[in-house]
Amino acid sequence: MPLVTIDVIKDVFTATQKKELIVRVTEAMIEVEGENMRPVTWVRINEFESGDWAIGGKTLRTSDVHALAAGKAA
């Protein structure tokens, strides 16, 4: 019974985008493990508050991720 956890910063992804992540990750798992495992394939999204995430000691905020997605330096 696979459990896939996706960690994201809060307010980076819309509800629609999170649903799409769940659908696509589920489908990727089913491609590997087989259709019979669909009922027991779990995908969950954990959201962390802006500023509660850091890379290399540098705090990452929601606005930083939006800037990166727009092709701007964070």
Per-residue burial over 16-28, b if 16 or more Cβ lie within 10 Å, else e, is: eebeebbeebbee
Residues acting as catalytic residues: 2
Say how far apart CA 57 and CA 47 lie, in whole Å.
Answer: 19
The tokens for 45 are: 């999204």
